[in-house]
Amino acid sequence: APEIGLLAPDLVLYLDINPE
């Protein structure tokens, strides 16, 4: 699904901004 492809970078950004 293209939506996952679009959200993947956002998820990486989120994890990069909020390391846990």
DSSP 18: S
How confident is the model at residue 15, as a pLDDT? 78
Distance CA 3, CA 18 (A): 22
Given this model, what pLDDT does residue 9 score? 78
pLDDT at 6: 63
Coil, helix or strand at residue 20 = coil
* pLDDT for position 2: 56
Query: Per-residue pLDDT tens for 5-19?
Result: 666 777 788 777 777
- Indicate the pLDDT class of residue 1, thresholds 50, 70 and 90: very low
